Amino acid sequence: MSVDTSSLAAPSLFVGDVTLRKLDDDIYRPLESFPTIRWWLAIAITGTLAAIFVLCAAYTVVRGIGVWGNNVPVAWAFDIVNFVFWIGIGHAGTLISAILFLFRQRWRTGIARFAEAMTVFAVICALQFPLLHTGRPWLAMFWLVPYPNGQGIYPNFRSPLEWDVFAVSTYGLVSAMFWFTGLLPDLATARDRAVHPFRKLVYGILSLGWKGSNRAWSHYEKAYLLFAGLSTPLVLSVHSIVSFDFAVSVIPGWHTTIFPPYFVAGAVFSGFAMVATLIIIMRKMFRLQHLVTDNHLELMNKIIIATSLMVGYAYAIELFIAWYGGVSYERYAFLNRALGPFAWAYWIMVTCNVLVPQLLWFKKVRRTVLLMYPIVLLVNVGMWFERFVIIVTSLHRDFLPSSWGDYKPTLIDFGLLVGSFGVFLTLMLLFCRFLPTIAATELKVILSESQSQGGGHE
């Protein structure tokens, strides 16, 4: 009757004719067929990298962290850079599963499971670095966890490093529980689809006897909502607390009040870039382009450019206030970042995080995999360098010129960095093989709603 509003409608989340039955077939196919040669090749490569991580970690533990490049004044370097980087990667998963859920963004469903898995694995990778940095990880329990001990000494709860212990362990645990709760009904489907008794047994045990009973659904939905409600402030708190590691100190370039929201925005930025990087490969590998559509990619790219601008805002405000505040140490710290010995790292950061993502203003770029893929890869690089710039450049120039120093990473540093990617990607590959990569149950809700309305869109 009135004007055609289809150009304003929400983008379709499915391509082609998708039915409830066909949905299950598509999503569970990778679980139920023998891995392809490409998968074996991929895991051989990532497994090798993971082995490098294990070797470098073992070498570090045996010889001590002197094998790293860190030395006073640059006492934190690759280890903390990697820690912050990996924690940040995880944040996109929680954002997608919790915040977008609370805001009823239905497109999240296609990518949520994958991103949540990333969160859990990224936290696992992140945890390795501070533990290794303690030098004697087997004593970390004594230093970090407040348990009654013979000396009667307890951790210093005023230390942001101790806050990290609480924040990161809570975050890892809650993310894993949230992820598992979402998986439950899908595991039950996997159990009931399984033909081989062993598969049936494993998925049966994992699904904890889920029966799809509505008396259970009633509590389940509430629990899911509560998990989302808890995870939303949790994800903000985690990267804020990570930023406190730096910001509560009085080091120029570290002590600045915008750090908490700036770190959260940066974490979401890098996390989304990583989700995009991997999910594009995943959907191609498992032929799921009709469930993780170009519309999904476009929406993710919009979040990437939004968070890129937030990060750019923080860079600009930091520079402005460094000048406006008039504190000579602050002014020097920022001049040194842009023009000092690590200027190359600073400009890599600015280019990859602020300049290049501006290309995403164009719809064509957002929707073309070949055009957006280099951009999201560069964002991954840029966000690693952001942490490098913050940590290393602020430390290598101490207050007194006599205490200035330089920083050079060693081969072991690079081995651990590259190896952590190996650990992460190996876990992701295993996940793609053994668990449903798309939240089938949630997708069924959306599918049944859109079918009962007789259209492909809301």
Partner 1 sequence: MSKSREKVVGVVGLYDDPSSLLRAAEGVRDAGFTRWDCHTPFPVHGLDRAMGLKSSPLPTLALTAGLIGVLAAFVLTGGLNALHYPIRIAGKPMLSWQAFVPIYFEMFVLFSALTIMGSLFVFCGLGRWHSPLHDSGVMSEITGARFAIVLGADDRMYSQADAKTLLEATGCRDIRPLVQFEEEDDAII
Partner 2 sequence: MSAELGQSLNDFVPPPKPCTGLRNAALVLSAIGAALSLTAAFNETHRVRLGFGYLWGFVFVWSAALGSLFFVGLQHLVRAVWSVVVRRVAEMFAASIWLVALSFVPILLYCFSHGGASLFPWLDAEHVSHDALLQQKQPYLNLPFFAARAAAFFALWIGFAVFFTQNSLKQDVGRSSVEPAVRMRKASAPFMLVFAVTTTFASFDWLMSLEPHWFSTIFGVYVFSGMVVTALALITITTIGLRSSGRLGSGVVGDGHLYNLGVLMFAFVCFWAYIAFSQYMLIWYGNIPEESFYLVRRFEGGWLFVSVALGVVRFVVPFLALLSRSAKTNPTRLLWVSIFLLAGQLLDLYWLIMPQLHPDRPILGWQELGPVLMLVGILILFVSHFLERHLPVSVGDPLFEESLRFYI
Nearest distance, CB of residue 195 and partner 1, angstroms: 11
For residue 96, give both structure tokens.
């997608």
The total of other beta-carbon atoms located within 10 Å of residue 162's CB is: 17
Residue 182 partner contact from partner 1, partner 2, none using kind-dependent CB cut-offs of 5 to 8 Å: none
Q: Tell me: does residue 301 bind partner 2 (CB under 8 A).
A: no
Instruction: Show contacts with partner 1 in window 133-152 (CB under 8 A).
Output: 146, 152
Selection from 34, 57, 35 nearest residue 44 by Cα: 35
Give the Cα separation of 290 and 13 in Å (integer).
Answer: 8
Q: Among residues 200, 255, 290, 367, which is the contact residue for partner 2, using CB under 8 A?
A: 255
Residues in the interface with partner 1 (CB under 8 A) total: 61
Task: CB nearer to partner 1: give 33 or 214.
Answer: 214
Give the Cα separation of 101 and 109 in Å (integer).
Answer: 9
Residue 181 partner contact from partner 2, partner 1, none using kind-dependent CB cut-offs of 5 to 8 Å: partner 1
Q: Among residues 2, 21, 62, 364, which is the contact residue for partner 1, using CB under 8 A?
A: 21
Instruction: Show contacts with partner 1 in window 217-276 (CB under 8 A).
Output: 217-223, 226-227, 230, 233-234, 237, 241, 244
Angle between helix 37-63 and 411-434 (nearest 10) = 140
Length of the chain: 458
Give the Cα separation of 382 and 2 in Å (integer).
Answer: 48
Q: Among residues 61, 140, 230, 248, which is the contact residue for partner 2, using CB under 8 A?
A: 248
Q: Where are the beta strands (DSSP E) in 34-134?
A: none
- In the DSSP assignment, the letter for residue 359 is G
Element (H, E) at 373: helix 369-388
Residues 6+ apart with CB under 8 A from 80: 129, 130, 133, 245, 387, 391
Nearest distance, CB of residue 390 and partner 2, angstroms: 14
Task: CB nearer to partner 2: give 317 or 343.
Answer: 317
- What DSSP assignment string belongs to 272-299? HHHHHHHHHHHHHHTT-TTTS-HHHHHH
Residue 33 partner contact from partner 2, partner 1, none using kind-dependent CB cut-offs of 5 to 8 Å: none
Q: Tell me: does residue 2 bind partner 2 (CB under 8 A).
A: yes
Give the Cα separation of 126 and 139 in Å (integer).
Answer: 18
Give the Cα separation of 252 and 119 in Å (integer).
Answer: 31
Q: Tell me: does residue 374 bind partner 1 (CB under 8 A).
A: no
Q: Which stretch binds partner 1 (CB under 8 A): 41-49, 56-64, 167-175, 386-394?
A: 167-175
Q: Which residue has the tokens 């920083």?
A: 407
Q: Positive or negative, the Cα torsion across 416, 420, 426, 427?
A: positive
Q: Tell me: does residue 214 bind partner 1 (CB under 8 A).
A: yes
Binding mask 307-346 for partner 2 (x = CB under 8 A): --x---xx--xx--x--xxxx-------------------
Nearest distance, CB of residue 355 and partner 2, angstroms: 15
Q: Which stretch binds partner 2 (CB under 8 A): 74-82, 193-201, 243-251, 380-388?
A: 243-251
- Site residues (CB under 8 A) for partner 2? 1-5, 7-8, 10, 102, 233, 236, 240, 244, 247-250, 255-261, 309, 313-314, 317-318, 321, 324-327, 361, 458
